[in-house]
Chains A and B, each alone.
Chain A
Amino acid sequence: MELIVELVNRSQKTIERHKFDSTRITIGRAFDNDLIISDQHVSPYHAELQKQDDGSWLLHDLDSRNGTYTSKGRKIEGDALLRSGDEFIVGKVRIRIYNPDYVVKPAVALSNIENIFDFLSRPACAFILILVVFGITAGNQYLQSFNKINTSEMGISLLAFFIVILIWASIWTFLGRLLRHETRFITQFIASASVFILFSINEYISAIISFNTLSPFWIYTYDYLSNGLLLVLLFTLNLHFAVQQNNWRRRVYANVFAWSIISSMILFQVAKDPEFRASPVYVQTLLPIQLLWKEPVSKEQFITTAETVFDHELD
């Protein structure tokens, strides 16, 4: 029966796969081996695999310089019996063997995320999207300013925003290159920029909520929650294109990253919260009355309720 041999890198990605139809397979750096491995820590004639009658394989170390190890790092002295799916290490290379009847995992459905971002990453789409990102950022800055627009200042802050996304996307692209042997810079850039846009749109939503609730507590709660969720989205996308892992694992990673950032921000806020404030804490957001859904109270009602601010004993 045939034997399938896989060379696996440290992040469990298969880099080579060979099929052998013999009862003895030699492994080493010399070119007359069956399985030639170019790792400098592998001896010219390092080990061999010998088929047994019951279908299992006997691994035999050929007195190699650096030895042969099980996947758990235990040195193999002399022989070891391997079955389909087992793994061993020569030099720095992991080798996994399978019988042809090994049942492989079911196909992973093409995810929507992949489809969407494959589409968005086409040059034309990407170009348009980058223009949109610029447009929204510039528009945002225009609306936040109340003095005459200073074009060079605006240009500088746009450039700064662009560079931040560029660096962020580059880091993830680099990680992807390292862990997945794939370079998807445009996709990372598009994904990151889209989430950054959501962050700035969320600021407007937050302002409307704070204006209508007038509660500093709910504003903090909303801001931390919504920005936490957007961070989860950002990390999920970045991880998706940079690391090969299943959905469940990716979700855990993204959530851990995002909420550790949010909780350290909360901790920082609590730690620097002064014991005494010379100025009161209240909602300073003012928006046009059309955005107010809360029913105003009468003057009389306000004055009656306002008197409760003298009940300092309740502190």
Chain B
Amino acid sequence: MSWRLMRAFTLLPAIFFCLISTNISAGPAQDLFREHKKAIYQIRVIELSSGNKSSIGSGFQINPDGMIATNYHVISDVVHKPEKYRLEYINHEGKKGELSIKNIDIVHDLALVKHQDKYSESIHLADDLLNKGEGIFSIGNPLDLGMIVIAGAYSGLIENSFYERILFSGSLNPGMSGGPALDITGKVTGINVATSGNQISFLVPVKYLHALLADTEQLSDSFDFNGLISRQLLQDQTARFDLLLASDWPRDTLGKTTIIGEIARFTRCWGDTSNDKDSLYSVTWSRCSSNDSIYISNSFNTGKLDYEFYLFSTNELNPVRFFARYQNAFGPIYSANKAGKEDVTNFQCHQDFVDNENVPAEEAKNKGISAWDTLFCSRSYNNYPGIYDVLFINAYLGENDQGLITHFSLTGVSRENSMAFLRRFMEHVRWN
């Protein structure tokens, strides 16, 4: 639901919000801005053949050597297509210069870039998180209109996400991505990254920037981006799935079935029942998903997860008509993330009928035959070996007026974790 700040230039009404909030607490904001404006840069991605900027973001210098912190998504075009794009900065005086990429953290959406010029003004990084309600002053260049300060409050870390993000009650806008969010003492407490609109914005906590900076000292000058991204994605999914697979999955009931509830604090479930009076059948569903998503490129993201359950039942349709409806819900299925031809392979699948083993043999005899029509597919990431998107769907067959369709989609996951999740999922869901 949150969207990246960099591209969309369509939210012009939002500008007025920023201006209003700037005016409210003009005092300390203006002081901070005056004090630090020399360390703040606009970062531009320049398309080589046209020579024009294709996207913009903000950044801030963090040491006297010219190291600038920004968001990974601001510079991702240059990471993926260095033959087509280059990086350029503009400082507070309007002077331009070259930038080179020094390190990236794709999971937390951070990047370090460096200039070779003599500007040595930098901003200090804070060590600790703030207390709820303390003031935050976010600086950046929204929509290429010029540098501004937005005052808001630190509202804690967001709760339904696997990744730590600071909730900031201020309005960030496209172009402010990568800019610093300062505390009242003028130290960086977070980095502008995304917004949901209406005074709900997100910052990357500064501790990840500390970690990235430390990591950069270990890194050799000539590193390969794909290898680095692969390592970071694999490491991240290991952490995520260790948590998912370690927890006890809560059992929920949906009609005669046992389904899975909220596995972790970052998977949220929503449910409802169709209640169209004219309908000859009813559908009750539970849809669970994580809001987290890792930005890889404009057309490719990962890290999302969802699982869904749809219970169909009818009192009025005969079996042939009921199955015409039921079959309609059995696909097509799509992955939870966005990916294109350059990013992933086609799906490769295995489909079969699986016994409904969860029911004890004695009961099964009384109930007659039943089975699950089950599909499991995976696609591989072209540039990041060992990382996959997997899809699962199955449909219960055993009654002629009821059925359950279950589905999950994992993205950016290893083979081992996919298989562990599949096994756990299939053992958990049952038709009683």
Residues on A lying within 8 angstroms of B by beta carbon are: 142-148, 214, 275-289, 292, 294-299, 302-303, 305-312, 315
Contacts and interface: CB of A to CB of B under 8 A. Distances in A.
A98 to B, nearest CB: 63
Given A278-B334, A279-B334, A289-B398, A148 B422 contact: no
Interface string B380-408: 10000000101100010110100100000
B348 A315 contact: yes
A173 B325 CA distance: 41
A23 to B, nearest CB: 79
B325 A146 contact: yes
- Main SS class of interface, B: mixed
Considering the complex of A and B, which 8 residue pairs feature the smallest CB-CB distances, nearest first? A280-B347, A146-B325, A276-B341, A286-B327, A296-B353, A296-B371, A279-B332, A306-B376
A303 to B, nearest CB: 6
B335 interface: yes
Contacts, number: 148
B349 A146 contact: no
Contact of B353 (A285, A297, A306, A311): A297
Contacts of B13: none
Nearest to B415: A310
B350 interface: yes
Given A286-B330, A305-B350, A309-B350, 12 more contacts: A144-B321, A145-B321, A275-B341, A284-B327, A292-B353, A298-B357, A302-B350, A303-B426, A306-B376, A307-B415, A310-B348, A312-B380
A278 B389 CA distance: 11
9 contacts: A284-B330, A286-B327, A296-B353, A297-B353, A298-B357, A299-B354, A306-B422, A307-B419, A312-B378
Nearest to B386: A310
Given A143-B320, A306-B376, A280 B349 contact: yes
Given A279-B333, A310-B415, A302 B352 contact: yes
A280 B379 CA distance: 9
B55 to A, nearest CB: 25
Contacts of A148: 278, 280
A286 B323 contact: yes
Nearest to B346: A277
Contacts of A306: 350, 376, 419, 422
A310 B378 contact: yes
Interface in B322-367: 322-328, 330-335, 339-341, 345-355, 357
Contact of A303 (B331, B335, B422): B422
Given A297-B353, A305-B352, A288 B397 contact: yes
B281 interface: yes
A302 B376 CA distance: 9
Contacts of A283: 351
B341 A146 contact: no
A282 B394 CA distance: 12
A281 B349 contact: yes
A287 B371 CA distance: 12
B205 to A, nearest CB: 34
Contacts of B328: 146
A286 B397 CA distance: 8
A299 B430 CA distance: 12
Nearest to A305: B350
Contacts of A147: 278-280
A147 B278 CA distance: 8
A201 to B, nearest CB: 14
Contacts of A294: 353
Contacts of B330: 284, 286
Nearest to B377: A280
Contacts of A307: 415, 419
A299 B318 CA distance: 30
Nearest to A313: B380
A234 B391 CA distance: 43
Contacts of A289: 369-371, 397-398
Contacts of A282: 331, 349, 351, 375, 377
A308 B373 contact: no
B230 to A, nearest CB: 15
B300 to A, nearest CB: 12
Contacts of A303: 419, 422-423, 426
Contacts of A286: 323, 326-327, 330, 373, 395, 397, 403
Contacts of A297: 352-355
Contacts of B129: none
Contacts of A142: 321
Contact of B400 (A277, A281, A288): A288
The residue among A145, A279, A298 with the most chain B CB atoms within 10 A of its own CB is A279
A315 B340 CA distance: 18
B319 interface: yes
B321 A143 contact: yes
Given A296-B354, A299-B355, A303-B422, A146 B324 contact: yes
